[in-house]
Structure formats: C-alpha cells, structure tokens
Structure 1
Amino acid sequence: MQLHANVQAVQETLDQARAQDGSGQPARVRILPEAVHTAAAAAAALGVEVGQIANSLIFEADGTPLLVLTSGAHRVDTPRLAATLGLGTLKRATPEFVKHHTGQPIGGVAPVGHPGPVRTVVDTALAGHPEVWAAGGVPRAVFPTTYPELLRLTGGDPAEVA
C-alpha cells in the first residue's frame, strides 16, 4: 500500500532515529480505519487510556511555531506555559499556519517529519506511561513511542503544560 507522503516522512524519521541510536526496531506507523481527530477518539481506536495520547498542538509563539506534545488527558495552560518559556504571546495557530510550518493537517500533526525544525515542548505527564501514541502525519496515522523517545526524536524540552 502506498503511504501518504507525510506518513512516509514520519516513518523515515523513526527508522533513521532507531538506526542511529541502536535502540532496536523502529516503531511502525499504523493506519487506522478512520480518522481520529481527538485524543478520546484515538484512545478508543487503540484501546488505551486517553492520557497515553500525545496530542500535537501547534501554537504561535511570538510569531514562530511551537509544537506542544501534551497528554490527551488535559489541556495546555497557555498563560502558564508562556511564562515558563519566557514568551510574550502564545496563541493557538490557524490551520494555515500549522500546515505551512509542519506540512501536516490539524488532527494529524506528528512530532516529526516537518519540512524544517519546530521548537518543541513535551508534557512531563506523558512520562507516567510506558507507551504513548503520537500522530503520524495524517488524521488516520499513529505510532507508538515512549516519553524518552519523544524527547530524543524532537529535541524537545520537558515541561509541565497543564
């Protein structure tokens, strides 16, 4: 089956990361029967807790993109996160802004596979799960990973975001 270009980019990044760090077999992007646009829908489709879903949220942070990988069990406290990161403004990005900076649609934004680097913050709440699931570049694609691997893959900074 031919994979969408976004999914291929994510899978290639996963393959390269695992080959470089020698941590074993790369995670495989899984294509679900239907799109999952929410953490609750993804959790239900995968049979996992909603807190195991790593929501990929793009914010506009002082005019630049900021990817926040947050547990699906809660919402980002934008004033708190802005203060933690020393930002003047932090607001939800428009679909056009998201697509421009990630090449991926809202509902399918992966932690990796973007056309260029995107500053990333990884919610420390995800560390409480031995396995988490992240989007794979389109709303039907997901892949399993771990909190430490998310930090390595993205070069992200750990932070409390809720």
Structure 2
Amino acid sequence: MTVEAVRTFLARNAPDLEVLELDASTATVEMAARGHGVVPAQIAKTLSLRIKDRALLIVTSGDARLNNRKIKGVLGGKPRMLGADEVVMLTGHPVGGVCPFGLATPLPVYCDISLKEFDEVVPAAGSTNSAVRIAPERMASLVGAEWIDVCERPGTPAEAAQP
C-alpha cells in the first residue's frame, strides 16, 4: 500500500521517475547499498524524529550520523527517534521503507547537506524493498525540503574526536 502512495506521488510530480523493487530487503543502509550497487553514503536514509512537540523527517547520507549539538542549534531542540507505530501512523511507511514521498501526514522535511556530495542518491520508496534513484537537489525540491547541516560523516574531525 505505501509503495502505491509513493507511485501516486511520483506520477503526479515526477512521472519520469520509477520505483525500483528488489526481491531482497533493503531495509538497512548496507542492504540497500548492496542491492542497488552504490556506496552506503549514496543511500538517502530518512530519519523520523520529534523535536519538542514537532514531528519531522531528516534525509541524510547513509553513512552520516546526527550531531545533536548541530540539530539543537538549527532546529531548536534535542531530537528523539519516533517509535515504529508512530512512524507508520505519521508517514504511512514502515521503518526501513520511510521516505519523504507520498506521506500520510504532511511533515516538515529537511535534507542534510551530506547528500550534496552525490549526483544521484537512493532513498527508499515506501517499503523495505523499494527505492528511487534521484538527484538530491531534485528530491529536496519535490518534497519542499529545506537544506540543513546537522550531521557528521565518518572521518570528519567531530566524528574522529568522539569516543
């Protein structure tokens, strides 16, 4: 059902894009990267969070980690991951298939600048075995996302300094 919501969204807003469905699960970054033949960083993972009383989505590079200090500075509070039931209720997508397309509830969407390193990224498409290949700028434009800097990538000074 949720893949259909994504297909409907794409048919209306980006009919040239195709939902890719694999036989194997792509529910984790590593599984998705293997399945789609890309590096893990090219997987556009969508995190479902709550900051204070506001639910929102942040789409990041697959190998990026949230930096709580940056999030607090940009979005005004400490993030908490939503529970699986709340994720399904708000997005219409299961954990492992969450994406910014075809949402059940309008939610603010933010894209971390870590995605801008790539010409093409691979976000999920509403199920644990579906995805879309898309340019990060186009993805952000399609969903009305705001670009923010709230992550650290492996090997960056802030990441390397953490115990």
- Band the TM-score falls in, shorter-chain normalisation: 0.7 to 0.9
1:17 aligns with: 13
**Contact 2:9 2:101 (C-alpha < 8 Å) held by counterparts:** yes
The TM-score normalised by the length of structure 2 is 0.87
* Aligned match for 1:97, one of 86, 92, 101: 86
Structure 1 residue 161 displacement after superposition:
2.0
CA distance in 1, matches of 2:120, 2:113: 13
1:33 paired to 2:23 = yes
2:155 aligns with: none
Structure 1 residue 40 displacement after superposition:
1.3
**Contact 1:98 1:106 (C-alpha < 8 Å) held by counterparts:** yes
CA distance in 1, matches of 2:96, 2:41: 17
Runs of 4+ in structure 1 off by over 3 angstroms are: none
**Contact 1:79 1:90 (C-alpha < 8 Å) held by counterparts:** no
SS, match of residue 45 in structure 1:
helix
Structure 1 residue 63 displacement after superposition:
2.2
CA distance in 1, matches of 2:101, 2:112: 16
SS, match of residue 153 in structure 1:
helix
Q: Give the number of equivalent residue pairs.
A: 151
* Aligned match for 1:148, one of 128, 137, 141: 137
* Aligned match for 1:106, one of 95, 101, 115: 95
1:76 aligns with: 66
**Contact 2:64 2:114 (C-alpha < 8 Å) held by counterparts:** no
**Contact 2:71 2:77 (C-alpha < 8 Å) held by counterparts:** no
**Contact 1:78 1:91 (C-alpha < 8 Å) held by counterparts:** no
The TM-score normalised by the length of structure 1 is 0.88
Gaps of 5+ in 1: 19-24
1:131 aligns with: 120
Structure 1 residue 82 displacement after superposition:
2.4
Alignment of 1:32-51 (within 5 A): 32-51=22-41
Gaps of 5+ in 2: 152-163
1:62 aligns with: 52
Which moved further from structure 2: 9-18 or 44-53?
Answer: 9-18
CA RMSD of aligned residues (A): 1.3
Structure 1 residue 75 displacement after superposition:
1.1
